Amino acid sequence: MKTILRTLLIISCLVHNITTLALSQDPIILFSDLISAPSTGWSNAEPNKGAVITIWGRHFGATRGSSYITVNGVQLQSDSDYLEDWGQYNNPVPFLQTITFQLNSSVSTGNSTISVTVNDVTSNTIPFRINNSSIFFVDDVNGTGSGTMTDPWGKSGIDNMVDAMTPGDVVYFRDGIYDDAYNGGKSPIWVRSSEPAGTLQDPIAYVGYPNEDAYMDGITNGDVSNFNKGIKIDARQYTIAKFRVAALGNGISVGRNGRIIGNDVVGATQFVAGVGIIQTGSDGVKIYANTVHGARSLDRLDHSIYISGCQEIEGADIAYNYSYDNYFDRGPHFVDNHQGNRCASDVYMKSNYWHHNVIACGEDETATGGVDNRSRGIGIYDLSWDVGEANEPEPAYVYNNILIGCGKEWHGAMYHNNGHAKFFNNTLVNSRGKGIQVTGGLSLTTEIKNNVIIQETGISDNYVDFTQGSSTPDVGNNSYFGGSSSPYSGDSNPITSDPQITVDLSSAFPLTIASSSPLIDAGTSSVSSIVIDDFNSTIRLGSFEIGAVEFSSTLSINDESLNNSFLLMPNPTNNTFTFEAKNDVLHKLVIYNQVGQLIKETTLNKVNVSDLSNGTYIIKFYMESGKTISKKLIKY
């Protein structure tokens, strides 16, 4: 009998609106902490240096060597331009790399872009704005200060810091412990809605200083009633990045268009009032690459990430976060719940996007000394819709997530209770209860496609469970394995054999599938308007794999063995190209554009592309040996 999966479980302490083009080893930038900052004004001693920026992505290499960042056309080639080790993992999530660099006066002001060049291969670009705002500093000494590098605001000066902000300003918090309520409220940092705000173009940013530990400690002097939060931002357009935060209740919350990027956050260590360790009730919030852990409340009303309120203008984007070691009872780690603060009847919820996250749910009591901390993974609970309302909410999108050990008895690893929801290309491993659950009479439509649902041996709960709702779920092309129940009867194309996956949560690639996996090319591409890439940032082309990742061999465009064995020439070309393979035979090749649309398919080794528009294309080669190879072609 086949084992349930080939799994190495090591539990260790693309963004939906960014379209990227990536082969298996091309460098790719996913996002940055700051989106606007000055290129000068670091200090009186170094006035021509500017703000420090961190980008997150993949395939940056282990060391810099001759690699470099380009900002607004300026190549940063000096070692002194880089303030942290090149290509760090675990900063703080284990599956993305970072590069931290400093702007300088050679980078002109205005709207620009950031790219990275690794081994002569240049990544995609992300937008960035160079502004004329100011840079400030804070340290943990007891004093007021003036906010400069040599005279930073001290703890008693944080209230002055809050009042001094203007759009585009950046404040770096130095190494130290910030363990009191410095601007009133119930947290080390509180910015009231009446206090200075940023703008969409130029947010205000609070950032941990590079290579230091700015620790917002709401526990040591914490009090459940009066001092129970970490960082609370009620004003609009703030970025909170690269802090270590601990709180009895909520760790970080932000207002409209806030950004919570690259923080290590502990929260819900006691039950306060039903919180999210990271939480917002506002429009347009971005929550990227945070580690969220340490909850011990054992209460189902607490969560790792909690989206509430009414997103009537723009939904939230929650991606590349890692939630682990949390004791919530059955309460889901991530929840979309607008039950308590609903939209008015004449407006409706915009889509929230939950994707590219890793959630390691709890163990049963035999593994935790008698504490049953099993919990659900992702819940679309209440999208602020009631029977009779004309304005139905937009769908919640849940895709490319990896869930380990989620679910609790009849409670699903994922569930949908209200409004519209779409669950695409998620991988649920060792689920301890129902897989994906549709329940509650207010669930309008549910799509469940291309998901892998692996249950623990002995689990008899349904893989897909539909108890009540306004319409029967649209279910198709899902993989079911491990449990004793049958696949969902309405699945249009179920897969029931061993999915052959490997999980290693300490790895840069936490989920991989074997070359013989039945998941390969077994998915539906009907989800392609939402699911552009996979968890590992590889663009999905042609037939989709089921689950969060596409199959990838060890071959890539940067591998010497590939370049020697498979030749595409000439490249670039303005007319024809020829493909040659040593020790293999071409079965067919497929040409895609940058958004994954199929342009041309042929079995010929010589292809005329003179009719194509100038630009970059991906060619996917299917070989008689079974290998699948992707290469980039430039048409001019």
The secondary structure of 161-223, three-state, reads HHHHCCCCCEEEECCEEECCCECECCCCEEECCCCCCCCCCCCEEEEECCCCCEEEEECCCCE
Asked whether residue 624 is domain-assigned, the answer is yes
What six digits make up the tokens of 11?
Answer: 């539990």
Look-up of token digits 């992707």: 630
CA atoms within a 13 Å half-sphere pointing along the CA-CB vector of 480: 29
- On whether the CB atoms of residues 97 and 90 are closer than 8 A, the answer is no
pLDDT confidence bin for 555, thresholds 50/70/90? very low
Q: What is the pLDDT of residues 80-111, one digit of tens each?
A: 999 999 999 999 999 999 999 999 999 999 99
Q: What is the pLDDT of residues 106-154, one digit of tens each?
A: 999 999 999 999 988 899 999 999 999 999 999 999 889 999 999 999 9
- What percentage of the chain exceeds 70 in pLDDT? 92
Q: What is the pLDDT of residues 167-178, one digit of tens each?
A: 999 999 999 999
How many domains is the chain built from?
A: 2
pLDDT confidence bin for 10, thresholds 50/70/90? very low
Asked whether residue 193 is domain-assigned, the answer is no
What pLDDT is recorded for position 380? 96
- On whether the CB atoms of residues 524 and 477 are closer than 8 A, the answer is yes
Supply the DSSP string of 567-586, one letter for each residue: EEESSSBSSEEEEEETT--E
Asked whether residue 105 is domain-assigned, the answer is yes
Asked whether residue 578 is domain-assigned, the answer is yes
What pLDDT is recorded for position 4? 33
Instruction: Give the CATH number, domain containing residue 616.
Output: 2.60.40.1930
Q: What is the pLDDT of residues 172-206, one digit of tens each?
A: 999 999 999 988 899 999 999 999 999 999 999 99
Asked whether residue 626 is domain-assigned, the answer is yes
What six digits make up the tokens of 41?
Answer: 């004004």
Among 98, 131, 164, where does a domain finish?
A: 131
pLDDT at 557 over 60: no
Mean pLDDT along residues 611-622: 84
Asked whether residue 189 is domain-assigned, the answer is no
CA 262 to each of CA 193, 258, 286, 336, 520: distance values in angstroms, whole numbers, following the listed order:
24, 13, 11, 21, 33
Instruction: Give the CATH number, domain containing residue 68.
Output: 2.60.40.10
pLDDT at 22 over 80: no
CA 74 to each of CA 31, 54, 59: distance values in angstroms, whole numbers, following the listed order:
19, 17, 21
Among 97, 114, 131, where does a domain finish?
A: 131
User: Which is nearest to 500 in space by CA: 8, 7, 24, 11?
Assistant: 7
Among 131, 162, 188, where does a domain finish?
A: 131
Asked whether residue 51 is domain-assigned, the answer is yes
- Identify the domain containing residue 72 by its residue range: 28-131
CA 209 to each of CA 54, 171, 215: distance values in angstroms, whole numbers, following the listed order:
11, 9, 11
- On whether the CB atoms of residues 352 and 334 are closer than 8 A, the answer is no
Range with the largest mean pLDDT of 55-69, 532-546, 548-562: 55-69
Q: What is the pLDDT of residues 454-494, one digit of tens each?
A: 999 889 999 999 987 777 899 999 999 999 999 999 999 99
What six digits make up the tokens of 259?
Answer: 């950004």
What is the rounded (10 degree) CA torsion for 610, 613, 616, 621? -50
pLDDT at 75 over 70: yes
3-state DSSP assignment of residue 79? helix
What six digits make up the tokens of 224?
Answer: 């459940």
What pLDDT is recorded for position 447? 97
What pLDDT is recorded for position 67? 97
Asked whether residue 100 is domain-assigned, the answer is yes
